[in-house]
Chain A
Amino acid sequence: MAALGGAEPAAVVAAPGSQASLALAVETPPALQRGRGGRRSRRSVLAALSPAVSVVFPGAVSRESCCRFACELLKHVLHQRHQLPLPYEQLVYFCRRATQDGDVIKKPTSVGLASKKCQQVLVELEGVLQHLEVMFSLTLVPRVLILLGGNAVSPKEFYELNLEGICVGSAEKSLKTTPCVRKLFHSLFIADVFSELKALPITGTVVMLQGHRNCGAEWFRPKLNYKVPTRGRKLTINLSCDGDLDISASAPQIMTSAWEDYIWFQAPVTLKGFHE
């Protein structure tokens, strides 16, 4: 019989003396024949399996834009993955209103938007967003991770924002932030990445990012031995720049040799989601 990978047909000849001789040719199905060709490495197979969304900006982007990408993505993921009952800005508005004139939905102050829990979450999240801004101003950030559930090393699902392909430019020579953010979320929407996923229970969210080891980050904690998790549902969002880049405008991207200088930093706060 044909072995896996083999392509020669196998012939079965009947015993001599019989009236007719049978010759069976067994053909290897083409799917198996593929194995004979190049041997795919395990990593590339994994990469092919995890979904990715790629967005290309027609020009350089500023550091503030990169920060905005990370912040908006964090807020978006928290809402879409059931960790916040409303998008962040709307939640802030209603929470403030609830604490001021009493919540419309009559609930004990232990739950609902007037609750301490809600306020705490919002305060923590605001803190994370502010410190992200600080980090982006201190160092180039090639990657950001948003990890949900489990822990930072082994999360249930996580989102990787890959900024390696970004060309950072000055504010004047770069594209405006808002249209870039819109393009990013337009691509995410078209890819429809959240609808298929099952609802997540209330869980903790950890934010991690890569930065230069000497950037002087005070709030984020360096994690020297951290590696990007290989297990858990992953979505990669690749951002890059293309088109006519003003050479003087774009700061050089991180050279491959300088990679060792970039280490992972973890937010010291785990954002706990909450339900209404």
Chain B
Amino acid sequence: MLEKARQQLQEEILQIQSQLLDEKKKREQHEALVRRLQKRVLLLTKVLQSAWMGKTFTVEIEKELHLSSSCPSMLLWFGSGLAGCDTVVSDAWQGVGYSPVCVYGGHGLPLEMWAVLERDGMRAILESYDSELTPAEHSPQLNRRMREAEEMVQKLHAHNAELEVQMSQVLEEVGSQKQRAEMLEVEMKALKSRECAAEQSTFITKEEVDTLRLKIEELEAERGKLEEQNRSLEMKLEKLTMQGDYDPSKTKVLHFSMNPASLAKQQRKEEQQQLQEECERLRELVRVLEAGGSIHGNLEGVGSFQSPQEVAELKKQVESAELKNQRLKEIFQTKIQEFRKVCYTLTGYQIDITTENQYRLTSIYAEHQGDCLLFKCNGDSAPANVTRLYSG
């Protein structure tokens, strides 16, 4: 940045130089002033030689000594190495007083650029020149140029000041960065030293890591086992659920009391009982038969196992048969009586059965009860007259 500014300033200076040269050329006519200028120049040279340590330069005044009116009040001196500075000095300045100003940056960094201002001296020279010269056409130009040069100088001054400030800022920053760098270095050293110390402790952590690894392996193995257990338990639980297992604290099992299974069981039981009873009775029967005894009345019916239905039916049949029997008896009775009556009425004789195979014949005209004939029947032969009993 400083380089740039310097370069800029250099350029500006070159511009001004060219302007000065122009002015110099215009002043060729003023040779009459050469001597005075010569004297001045001698004085200047002496002063310069004394002030500039080691730097020698000659101011040649024989050559064109045209003082440029554009910037007579400025003298720019350059350090070593810059070409043309001697020429500038020799061309521009003759017998001019000066006061060199050295600008040093802080922290011992010398600037290469020097600016020398001798405004008052310059003014004096100008005035002297102006009074000797024919005024009129040149003076406004000169004045203008002088003012321009003054402004330029002021600008450069201000610029310089700015650059100074910037420079100081930059140097401050650099200083702080250096401090920081130093701090970081210190820290790093500290960390490195700590690391060294820590490296010793990593030996300890390595052991820790190993034990931790072992522990992890153990835990993983355990986890694998637990997973297996879990799986087998889940399978067991699934199987139990499918088999109908339940938690009695939360669930109960109900069924309809009159359900087919229990009914079937009931029936089965009853059947069994009946069969058992029959079995018993049959056994009894067998025993009795084997013993050769007579069959009791109550056992008689045992032989044939008759279901209650059959028994009822048979009973009914018996009843109806008995009823029929009774009926028939009654009918026979009435019919026999009728027949006997008719016989008695028609034939006049009544035949009665007294005892077995003995018959009594009674006439309708019999006067007494005992008037009858008794007959006995011996098989097929006709009944033989037994006795005639007339009177008792």
Instruction: Report if A and B touch in the complex (beta carbons < 8 A).
Output: no
